[in-house]
Amino acid sequence: MLQYILKRILVMIPTLLVTSALIFTVINLPEGDYFETLAAEMQAQGEKADLSRIEFLKKEYGFDKPPVERYFWWVTGLLQGDMGYSFEYQRPVREIVGDRLMLTMVVSFVTIIVTWLIAFPIGIYSATHQYSWGDYGLTFLGLIGLAIPHFLLALVFMYAANVWFGTSIGGLVDPQYLNQPMSWAKLWSILEHLWIPVIIIGAGGTAGMIRAVRANLLDELQKQYFVTARAKGLPPGKALRKYPLRMSLNFFVSDIGDILPSIVSGAEIVAIVLSLQTTGPLLIRALQSQDMYLAGSFLMFLSFLTVIGVLISDISLAILDPRIRLQGTATK
Amino acid sequence: MNGFPRKPSRRAALALGSAAIAAAGLPRLALGQQQTPLRLVDSPFFAKQVADGTLPPVVQRAPTSPRIITVSGDGREAGRHGGTMRMLMGDQRDIRMMTIYGYARLIVYDDNLELASDILEGFDVEDGRIFTLKLRPGHCWSDGSPFTTEDFRYWWEDVANNKRLSPGGPPQALIAAGKPPTVEVLSPTEIRYSWDAPNPVFLPSLAGAQPAYIYMPSGYLKQFHERYADKATLSSRVKTARVKDWGSLHERMSRMYRPENPELPTLDPWRNTTPLPAEQFTFLRNAYFHRIDQNGLQLPYVDQVTLTIGTNSLIPAKTAAGESDLQARYIRFDNYTFLKDASKRMNIDVKLWKRAEGAWFALMPNLNAIDPVWRDLNRDVRYRRALSVAINRKDVNKVIFFGLAKESGNTALPESPLYDARQAGLWMEQDKTLANRLLDEIGLVKRDLEGIRLLPDGRRLEFTIETSGESTEETDILDLIKQDLVAVGVKIYPRSTQRDVFRRRILAGQTIMSAWVGMDNALVAPEMEPDALAPTSASQFNWPRWGQFLESSGREGEEPDMPEVKELVRLYHAWRRSATHEQRRQIWRDMLRINAEQLFTIGIVNGTLQPVVVSRTLRNVPDKGLYSFEPGAFFGRYMPDTFWFDPSKAQV
């Protein structure tokens, strides 16, 4: 087992290196750079961009050097924990991302928990009451959540919340609480806003998870061991919890790998529509304006979390299901 | 002026000073003069600070001869202090809007688009080349430090002529006939800039929405300057800020146009108090502001302005929910009906201002296209005229703008002193026969089975018109125009791209024709630089390569080779050397005429409307206004510091 974990960790190093090269290349692919984009935007609304000033800034930030050299600067910086400098915000990337990370994690955690709380009971109910009215009804609801585009749902919810409850549109808190220390009133205001992104971001995930729990559980319910257990007189609830439910958790554990980065990145599009001050809009904005160290370092951070997440899910899978562990060693 | 006591009391000086200026015939103090002594009134906002002694009383804070603003006329009246003005923005960089809206400049454009002093007490021009600027005595920066000619000297010697801070040397506005000025500090309140040749750009650049800053708060900035700061302290500052060297640090700390540094003193009506990045920026009133209303109240009336940053596509919805007190940015004409409907429920009014572009929508034939056949065709004035008269502008106006816009070429607006109705209507009326005749004349007589004309090399006369894809209105207009052009045997395909791609394709000559706004500023006056009428920048989509040539002083791009364009370039240079108002007016007229006759840009409509959402409690926002970056600085020319909150007007 220890050897297995060690191997998995060693594989992470080249993976991350390749990822970093890919990220850097892709960000550099569009012609021009941040300063040219900035000049273009300024000119688009009649402002003048001083060309010599732009040249000056480019030199200032090393854009006169070849890309390969810049890549090495960046990667060595990353290794030392320096995520680089954001042109747009004029501050180190770490400070900018740090400010928003907390809020993103709150939204994501609450969403994930809510998704689980809704999806598991429904999934179990649907599986154990297959083809019943309840099964159909709940599945239908879930599929609606999956089918409606998130941004549309977000707009409808925001409008409704504003007209019915007077909640301010977008954001995670009423404007008067921005830049204020946390207080009960502010917390209440956050809760008042939080349910919208949670429901919207959760809607698709819930539906997917309901289907997965239902399908996996149904498979197990038809297997011999469950039939035997029931035949031996084990009460239905206990029989369900003790065997098939555990077996159906495989998919759920392997999903953890994806959860970690999604906690940090949040749901970008929904966050933009809802104007949430999370990391998602920051990343997209950075990509648009070619604020390359902000975008690159942030993507790198996400890749790192993905790799860690996959590692965790691999390890827990190996613990949960011996078949995986054995197969893993047998083929190698 | 000799009879005055050497050190008059502030009150006396206030009255006498303004009377003296009026008598001496110095440039007007813009809106009005006040003959009776004023008793200065402070905002209750500072009452506590003044009482406990942390802030001097207003009589000591305002300059000895402040700028007196007579707030009157057009539904405007003198107001009261207080309140928070909320605005919505889409981006951190939008904090520069406060510098624009505040519109505190050394010199400003007044109601007649003439230059008037604002921060300056007065200025004096000799031969169009010697400029003497006179500051207001006792004027202070927002941190209370004195604003004197030392701040001008510091900028000129230690910033503009410092190799590290300005490797390119002083900005273009300070270069006349290739040479920088001689700068003489005459006294703490007087400074003189003199050139060997006339420099007509100098004063307008100071009055711009994005002004040339020829001064900086030296008292504050010296601590970041290599020449003045203590070496050890400076290097530790550089370390904590994590920047390369003192130059980067100075650059970051000294941005005046984008007030990112809350510590940086300002002369604007409000000062930023929030560091980047933030979800909401709070601007507080500048205790040392130099404008006073006729009742002696120190402006601005409004104590606080907040900018809440959010997704820009949500701004119309948020505005409709009453979350902004003054909003025009990120709101478009197609939001009007929605906002009007919301105004029935919320405490907001929607006003319609007029936009001031030469053309809200214009076709830009790329005279620098790489395909030789298309390039020659685009350069043929008959072809450009044929396209123009083939278009039914009335329909476009009716369908897209409810008939509220004006069908016009890309030229000066009626509100401009240089407006010429004949030029605005030249080649603008739809005339299919004329269009067909012109196209036949060029030799495009052969047609294919569909009735599309054929080019000399046998290709069909069909091309894509590219847009930057920023509004659906653009593609709607193109769809309308498409029908008109097919009727004369020309086929177009509207195509929207992304702005960066759009620009690069045009500059590379891959785009045959694009659609874009016309002149950004059509409220032109002879004193403004006619750079939009000649190729001067790579972002002019009808002649990008020629523009690039002039912009880079011949290092990039191509030299213009069409006689009419060469003439425009000659006129532009002549303007840059002109000394008198009369010369400048003549040059402007000639350039406008050539542009109107040659149709280098084919304007469709202008004078479109801009919704301005105003809280019902906010007074003094004009019902009718002109909305433009230049020369109005959006709200700037209407002085948001004179807007005030009247709670009695609230109604839902």
Identify whether residues A196 and A75 lie together within a single domain.
no
Q: Judge whether A151 lies within some domain.
A: yes
Question: Residues A234-257: pLDDT tens digits?
Answer: 888 888 887 788 777 777 777 777
Per-residue pLDDT band at B44 (split at 50, 70, 90): very high
Residue A258, pLDDT above cutoff 90? no
Spatial contact of B352 and B609, defined as CB atoms under 8 Å apart: yes
Number of domains in chain B: 1
Per-residue pLDDT band at A36 (split at 50, 70, 90): confident
Residue linked to tokens 């109107």: B596
User: How near does any CA of chain A get to the CA of B32, in Å?
Assistant: 31
Q: CB–CB of A47 and B167 under 8 A?
A: no
Task: Identify the pLDDT of residue B409.
Answer: 92
Question: Residues B156-197: pLDDT tens digits?
Answer: 999 999 988 888 788 888 988 889 999 999 999 999 999 999
Per-residue pLDDT band at B18 (split at 50, 70, 90): very low
Best mutation target, A45, A88, A90, A151, to test chain B (most B CBs within 10 A): A90
Cβ-count burial of B312 within 10 angstroms (0-12 exposed, 13-18 middle, 19+ buried)?
middle
Boundary (domain end) residue, out of A37, A63, A82: A82
Spatial contact of B539 and B503, defined as CB atoms under 8 Å apart: yes
Identify whether residues A123 and A66 lie together within a single domain.
no
Cβ-count burial of A127 within 10 angstroms (0-12 exposed, 13-18 middle, 19+ buried)?
buried
> Which of these, B621, B622, B618, lies nearest to B644 by C-alpha position?
B618
User: Which residues, 6+ apart, have CB-to-CB distance to B346 below 8 Å?
Assistant: B320, B321, B322, B652
Q: Judge whether A253 lies within some domain.
A: yes
Cβ-count burial of B393 within 10 angstroms (0-12 exposed, 13-18 middle, 19+ buried)?
buried
Distance CA(B634)–CA(B118), nearest Å, equals 17
Instruction: Give the other-Cβ count within 10 Å of A159's Cβ.
Output: 14
- DSSP output for B180-246: PPEEEEEETTEEEEE-SS--TTHHHHHHSSS-------HHHHGGG-TTTS-HHHHHHHHHHTT-SSH
Residue A330, pLDDT above cutoff 60? no
Question: Residues B594-638: pLDDT tens digits?
Answer: 999 999 999 999 999 999 999 999 999 999 989 988 888 899 989
Question: Residues B468-489: pLDDT tens digits?
Answer: 877 788 889 999 999 999 999 9
Residue B202, pLDDT above cutoff 60? yes
Boundary (domain end) residue, out of A28, A62, A82: A82
Q: Judge whether B588 lies within some domain.
A: yes
Minimal Cβ distance to B499: which of A44, A52, A178: A44
Best mutation target, A173, A179, A282, A294, to test chain B (most B CBs within 10 A): A179
Q: Judge whether A325 lies within some domain.
A: no
> Which of these, B488, B480, B386, lies nearest to B427 by C-alpha position?
B386
Question: Could you list the residue range(s) of the whole structural domain that residue A69 is in?
Answer: 18-82
Q: Judge whether A234 lies within some domain.
A: yes
Q: What is the DSSP letter of B94?
A: G
User: How near does any CA of chain B get to the CA of A206, in Å?
Assistant: 27
Task: Identify the pLDDT of residue A145.
Answer: 78
> Which of these, B132, B124, B228, lies nearest to B182 by C-alpha position?
B132
Distance CA(B97)–CA(B95), nearest Å, equals 5
Q: Tell me the pairing of strands B270-272 and B280-285.
A: antiparallel
Which of the two residues, B534 and A206, has the higher pLDDT score? B534
Question: Residues B376-416: pLDDT tens digits?
Answer: 999 999 999 999 999 999 999 999 888 999 999 999 999 89
Distance CA(B415)–CA(B351), nearest Å, equals 19
- Chain B residues touching A97 at Cβ < 8 A: none
Identify whether residues A232 and A110 lie together within a single domain.
yes
Distance CA(A268)–CA(A151), nearest Å, equals 10
Cis peptide before B300 (omega within 30 of 0): yes
Tokens of A89: 């915000």
Number of domains in chain A: 2
Identify whether residues A97 and A41 lie together within a single domain.
no
Q: Judge whether B337 lies within some domain.
A: no
Q: Is the ipTM of this complex over 0.85?
A: no
Both ends of chain B: CA-CA distance in Å?
A: 55
Identify whether residues A54 and A138 lie together within a single domain.
no
CB of A98 within 8 Å of a chain B CB? The answer is no
Assign residue A182 the CATH number of its domain: 1.10.3720.10
Q: Judge whether A205 lies within some domain.
A: yes
Minimal Cβ distance to A169: which of B323, B468, B628: B323
Q: What is the 3-state secondary structure (H, E, C) of B257-281?
A: CCCCCCCCCCCCCEEECCCCCCCEE
Minimal Cβ distance to A51: which of B248, B274, B551: B551
The Cα-based distances of B322 to A205, B339, B348 in angstroms read: 34, 10, 7
Q: How far is CA B145 from the centre of its chain?
A: 29
Q: CB–CB of B278 and A53 under 8 A?
A: no
Question: Could you list the residue range(s) of the whole structural domain that residue B579 is in?
Answer: 361-606
Question: Residues B62-106: pLDDT tens digits?
Answer: 999 999 999 988 788 999 999 999 999 988 888 999 999 999 999
Q: CB–CB of B92 and A170 under 8 A?
A: no
Identify whether residues A249 and A159 lie together within a single domain.
yes
Q: Tell me the pairing of strands B513-516 and B462-467.
A: parallel
Q: Tell me the pairing of strands B84-89 and B304-309.
A: parallel
Q: Judge whether B419 lies within some domain.
A: yes
Alpha helices by DSSP H, chain A: 2-28, 34-44, 51-60, 67-79, 93-128, 133-147, 150-160, 184-221, 224-231, 236-242, 244-247, 250-254, 256-265, 268-273, 279-288, 292-320, 322-331
Question: Residues B330-386: pLDDT tens digits?
Answer: 998 888 999 999 999 888 999 999 999 999 999 999 999 999 999 999 999 999 999
| pTM for the model | 0.81
Question: Residues A190-238: pLDDT tens digits?
Answer: 888 888 888 888 877 788 888 888 888 888 888 888 888 888 888 888 8
Identify whether residues A73 and A99 lie together within a single domain.
no
- Chain B residues touching A90 at Cβ < 8 A: 252, 260, 276
What count of CB pairs under 8 Å joins A to B? 102
Identify whether residues A190 and A41 lie together within a single domain.
no
Q: What is the CA radius of gyration of chain A?
A: 24
Q: Judge whether A263 lies within some domain.
A: yes
From A176-180, B421-425, B495-499, the region with the lowest mean pLDDT: A176-180
CB of B308 within 8 Å of a chain A CB? The answer is yes
CB of A69 within 8 Å of a chain B CB? The answer is no
Distance CA(B279)–CA(B306), nearest Å, equals 10
Identify whether residues A273 and A187 lie together within a single domain.
yes
- Chain A residues touching B167 at Cβ < 8 A: 52, 56
Q: Judge whether B555 lies within some domain.
A: yes
Q: CB–CB of B276 and A162 under 8 A?
A: no
Name the closest residue on chain A to residue B308, using Cα atoms: A175
Cα torsion A147, A150, A155, A157 to 10°: value is 70
Identify whether residues A120 and A39 lie together within a single domain.
no
Spatial contact of B486 and B352, defined as CB atoms under 8 Å apart: no
Assign residue B593 the CATH number of its domain: 3.10.105.10
B445-469: buried (b, 16+ CB within 10 Å) or exposed (e) per residue? Answer: eeeeeeebbebeeeeebbbebbbbe
Averaged pLDDT for residues B565-571: 95
Distance CA(A260)–CA(A296), nearest Å, equals 18
Identify whether residues A187 and A315 lie together within a single domain.
yes
Residue B491 region, left (φ>0) first, then alpha (ψ -120 to 50), else beta? beta
Identify whether residues A157 and A35 lie together within a single domain.
no
Averaged pLDDT score across all residues of chain A: 80
Question: Residues A54-109: pLDDT tens digits?
Answer: 777 777 777 778 888 888 888 888 888 777 778 777 777 887 777 677 778 888 88
